Structure formats: structure tokens, C-alpha cells
Amino acid sequence: MTSGGIAARVCVLGPSGRMGRAVIEAASGRQDVAITAAVDRPDADGLGGLVVAGVLASADLTAGLRASDVYIDFTSPVSSRAAARAAASLHKPGVIGTTGLGPDDEAALADLAKVAPIVVAANFSLGVNLMLGLVRQAARALGPDWDAEVVETHHRAKRDAPSGTALMIARAIAAGHGADYEQVKRHSRDGDVGARPRGEIGVASVRGGDVIGEHTASFFGPAERIEISHRASSRGIFAAGALRAAAWAVGKPPGRYDMLDVLGLK
């Protein structure tokens, strides 16, 4: 703890976004973290509303990082890459929840992880992180003769598909099968795709309304089926997990961590 019981002074990126707002709201109910900076695009709506005592609200990423022990990033791949590069030069820990990251974005995170601790997770909820262990166990026990499929549903504004969480679940199934995910994945189907090959892992995406996030892993056996589902009904669960990760990360050695490290589930 630094002072007064505060474990982490936090810079929130994208405070005008759905998750940025949820992080700020969740932090207001906690004693162990304090939001000290909020950094958004210069043209973002609602930044002015954040100018309250003790919070540096601006478009100046470097100033926001300097004012904080750790940053929380739920923005976009381009923004997350730029933030990781800025944080690397300042050796600032990060908690990164942005999904849809490409190889260049991952490379920027890897550079940051060489000089500071970072927690990267496509889903910060306790339930989904437990679900990863459950689906892996189910896949290992049932084997590839039970057809495994993942279906995810999200609100209409979500940009990337499949969701990062669906990919984590599908990779956990592949790990349970002892398979290389890249060799067995099938992201949606269209047209004459032929009969389903043994061991294929299908992922399908549904978009609509204001659904925060739903994931189901199904295992189809002969005349029976197992389904393992998670449904989020508030973004507060992701925000609370990210704040917990931020408090956990401060003072840790450089490296890349995930929510299983934070939750002590490894």
C-alpha cells in the first residue's frame, strides 16, 4: 500500500466508453484504489464531466500515466498499442482488457511486459475464468469424439468477432483435447462446408441489442449433450476484476500475467 490504504493510483483510458465508465463507477466504491487520471481521445464526449477533485482528465497520455501507479485500458487495438508504447518508456504497469488485438498490438504489449508487470485478459470476470478451467476439464474427459462448439452473444456495438472470451474458451477446449487450436478452429459456417470433421472446434457469434456478454460451450455426445454457460448481467464484474488486477499488479516483477494469476488459480 502506498498511503492511506490505497494500493494503486489508477489512470483509466477511454473514460467515455462503456467499460471506462464502469471502471470509474466501480472504483468509487473501493478504498484500495483511487482514480487519479482519465485519458481519452481529444474529441471524446463526456471528458469534461470527469474534471473532479483529484482526477486529471485530459487527452495527454504521458501526463495521465505519470500521475498514476498503473493504467487500465479498455479501448481499441490501435489505442492499446500506443498506450503500451508510452507506458513502456515510463515503466508503468498496465491492465489491458481491449480485445481484437493483432500481432503488432501484441508485440507492443510484449515490449511493455519486459519492463513492467501487465495483466492481460479478454475477460476479467471470476465466473469466466473459472469456466475456462471447467471447459478444459470437460474437453479432456470427453475427448474429441464429443463435438465441441462455442456460441457467444454480445450487444450490437461490439466491433470484433468472435469475442476474445469465446477464443479463450475455444483455446481451453483445444488444450483439453491436446490439439493445436489453429489447426482445428472453425469460425462460423456458410455454404457447403461438408460434414463436421472429428475434433473441429466451432465458434459462432450473435450480435444484438444491449447484451453485455453470454458464452456457451456445448459438448455433443451420442444421445446426450453438456452445456457450460456464463452470462454477464453487469459490466461491473469486468470493472471490479480489472481494479483488483490493478491493485495486484503494482509492485510485481515485470512480466505478462492473466486473471488466473490475480485470482491465485494457477
3-state helix, strand, coil in the chain (%, to 5): 40, 25, 35
Active site residue 91: no
Candidate list 91, 114, 154, 177, residue with the active-site label: 154
Task: Considering only residues 96 through 115, tell me which ones interact with ligand NAD, judged by CB under 6 A.
Answer: 97-100
Q: In this structure, are residues 20 and 242 in contact, taking their beta carbons and an 8 Å threshold?
A: no
Residue whose CB is nearest to ligand NAD in the complex, by number: 17
SS3 26: helix
* List 32, 44, 186, 251, residue binding ligand NAD (CB under 6 A): 44
Question: Is the CB of 8 or the CB of 259 nearer to ligand NAD?
Answer: 259
Q: In this structure, are residues 2 and 27 in contact, taking their beta carbons and an 8 Å threshold?
A: no
Answer yes or no whether residue 40 interacts with ligand NAD by CB under 6 A: yes
Nearest to 34 by CA among 63, 58, 67, 66: 67
Active site residue 177: no
Smallest distance, Å, CB 175 to ligand NAD?
Answer: 20
Helix axes 18-28, 236-249, angle to 10 degrees: 70
Question: Is the CB of 219 or the CB of 238 nearer to ligand NAD?
Answer: 238
Question: Is the CB of 6 or the CB of 119 nearer to ligand NAD?
Answer: 119
d(CA 184, CA 149): 11
Q: What are phi and psi of 244, to 5 degrees?
A: -60, -40
* List 71, 74, 146, 219, residue binding ligand NAD (CB under 6 A): 74
Which parts of the chain are beta strand (E)?
8-13, 33-39, 56-58, 70-73, 94-96, 117-120, 147-154, 185-187, 201-207, 213-221, 224-232, 255-257
Question: Is the CB of 19 or the CB of 116 nearer to ligand NAD?
Answer: 19
Question: Is the CB of 146 or the CB of 238 nearer to ligand NAD?
Answer: 238
* List 30, 41, 85, 187, residue binding ligand NAD (CB under 6 A): 41
Candidate list 91, 114, 155, 158, residue with the active-site label: 158
Count other Cβ atoms within 10 Å, centred on residue 59: 13
Answer yes or no whether residue 39 interacts with ligand NAD by CB under 6 A: yes
Answer yes or no whether residue 121 interacts with ligand NAD by CB under 6 A: yes
Task: Considering only residues 198 through 257, tell me which ones interact with ligand NAD, judged by CB under 6 A.
Answer: 238
Instruction: Strand 224-232: give its sheet, edge to edge.
Output: 185-187, 201-207, 147-154, 213-221, 224-232
Record the cell numbers describing residue 150, joined without a space. 462455442
Smallest distance, Å, CB 126 to ligand NAD?
Answer: 11
Answer yes or no whether residue 123 interacts with ligand NAD by CB under 6 A: yes
Catalytic residue positions, numbered: 154, 158
Which residues bind to ligand NAD, rule: CB under 6 A? Answer: 13-14, 16-20, 39-41, 44, 74-76, 79, 97-100, 121-124, 238
